[in-house]
Amino acid sequence: MTDYFKGIPAIRFEGPDSTNDFAFHHYNPDEVVMGKRMEDHLRFAVAYWHSFAYQGGDPFGGQTFERSWFGDSMALAKLKADVAFEMFDILNAPFFCFHDADVRPEGKDFAENTRNLEEIVDYFAAKMETSKTKLLWGTANLFTNRRYMAGAATNPDPDIFAFAAATVKTCMDATHKLGGANYVLWGGREGYETLLNTDLKAEADHMARFLHMVVDYKHKIGFSGTILIEPKPQEPSKHQYDYDVATVYGFLRRYGLENEIKVNIEQGHAILAGHSFEHEIATAASLGIFGSIDMNRNDYQSGWDTDQFPNNVPEVAMAYYEILKAGGFTTGGTNFDARIRRQSLDPEDLILSHVGAMDVCARGLKAAAALLEDGSLEAARKARYAGWETPAAQEMLKSGTLDGIAKRVLAEGLNPQPKSGRQERLENLWNRFL
């Protein structure tokens, strides 16, 4: 037991009228929403990197946080793990997520990295025997170390491709050993800084080969979790190949991976790509590749990935509406890929950021579920397309030809009149549930 969170109580549901900051006001794990416990709907995860590895730096200034576990030794990595699992307990968090580099000290080579990771995985495994917190996903950090400055799977140097492949193997082993529900690949520097030195075609082929190896290895070791790609359009690379959900889907189809890999969609990345979060979720659901979400928000003025905790109920509600409509999470969940601000120095800031985010998501989920159960929005959507249910319309879709249709339009004197899309009416309907 560390004393890092000394004096901070376990967070429990007290209801919307409670004035206790250290309580949930809306997130009640056991409350049943659309036939399922809220905890099982939302599947919250704490992101190890932001909460325990982030030191408070920004492009203009370095470390602001002073944590007793900062440093590069196994003893400190274990202290970090102790604090992490204490926080998971305080929050009653069902899941966590990590990169290899978040949890183990950096070794001098691949062998030492692997030994360090294995030691920490054993340490986690022992803790997880008594903790309720499970692993939502593991991943490899293939972007921080300078060896990855020109990418990992897309690096022009085959030795770096090999180092990355070997590292992913160890991270998949770690995820498998800890019973992870998914394995994530975010293409941190899988992209380019300038086209002047980049062979786009070769890099795409190499990345696809890398992903096929990941899929093959998943089956080889019997990992039953889902492999997820996390799209992002840029940052740190000027251009990132996994730009958005539609781009990833095109890539997966091109290389025959669409039945093996799904997507982990991050709100901030959707915004950077010029989309809304719900657009990305709806797109993935319609393509059959929806997997999981990274829940955070960007600052809309700053134009970069600020990874802030969510605090906008209407935004979150739209996202959960699409998720519920798609049938909810299966192996996925809601990972808070979010960090406290660099001025938020205190242990309680780490806790309260999550408490607030969990409450915001709970409110969003409840609003979305109520709207879905009400059925008016879906009925309006269905009515808008009702014309397509007629046999003639279905026949046109099945076997219509341009000249055949032209003849019919002429013969029937077709002169269709436009109908209202009723956007404002539907927005008003939405607002009644928020």
Helices vs. strands in the chain: H and E counts, helices first: 16, 14
Catalytic pick among 25, 41, 50, 99: 99
Token pair, residue 427, equals 């927005």
Number of residues that bind Co ion (CB under 5 A): 3
List 86, 102, 244, 266, residue binding Co ion (CB under 5 A): 266
Should residue 242 be labelled a site residue for Co ion when binding is judged by CB under 5 A? Answer: no
136/362 with CB nearer ligand XUL: 136
Active site residue 30: no
Active site residue 279: no
In angstroms, rounded to a whole number, what is the distance separating the alpha carbons of residues 209 and 428?
Answer: 49
Q: Which helix (H) or strand (E) holds 160?
A: helix 158-177
266/280 with CB nearer ligand XUL: 266
| Closest C-alpha to 210, from 236, 178, 241 | 241
29/231 with CB nearer ligand XUL: 231
Least distance CB 294 / ligand XUL (angstroms): 5
- Strands 191-192 and 95-99 turn out to be unpaired
* Alpha-helix residue ranges (DSSP H) falling in 229-340: 245-254, 267-272, 277-287, 313-325
322 binds, among Co ion, ligand XUL, none (CB under 5 to 8 A by kind): none
Binding flags for Co ion, 285-324, as an x/- string (CB under 5 A): ---------x------------------------------
Should residue 102 be labelled a site residue for Co ion when binding is judged by CB under 5 A? Answer: no
Cα dihedral 232, 328, 286, 264, rounded to 10, equals 20
139 binds, among Co ion, ligand XUL, none (CB under 5 to 8 A by kind): ligand XUL
188/364 with CB nearer ligand XUL: 188
Local structure of 222: helix, strand or coil? coil
In angstroms, rounded to a whole number, what is the distance separating the alpha carbons of residues 183 and 137?
Answer: 5
Local structure of 322: helix, strand or coil? helix
For residue 167, the number of C-alpha atoms closer than 13 Å in the C-beta half-sphere is 27
| Closest C-alpha to 290, from 249, 250, 255 | 249
Query: Applying CB under 6 A, which residues contact ligand XUL?
Result: 99, 139, 184, 186, 230, 232, 266, 294, 305, 337
Least distance CB 140 / Co ion (angstroms): 14
190/230 with CB nearer ligand XUL: 230
Least distance CB 230 / Co ion (angstroms): 5
232 binds, among ligand XUL, Co ion, none (CB under 5 to 8 A by kind): ligand XUL
DSSP designation for 308: B
Least distance CB 130 / ligand XUL (angstroms): 27
In angstroms, rounded to a whole number, what is the distance separating the alpha carbons of residues 296 and 311?
Answer: 9
Least distance CB 47 / ligand XUL (angstroms): 7
In angstroms, rounded to a whole number, what is the distance separating the alpha carbons of residues 35 and 217?
Answer: 36
Should residue 337 be labelled a site residue for Co ion when binding is judged by CB under 5 A? Answer: yes
> Where do we find the tokens 């990935």?
305
Least distance CB 288 / ligand XUL (angstroms): 22
Q: Which residues are catalytic?
A: 99, 102
List contacts with Co ion (CB under 5 A): 266, 294, 337
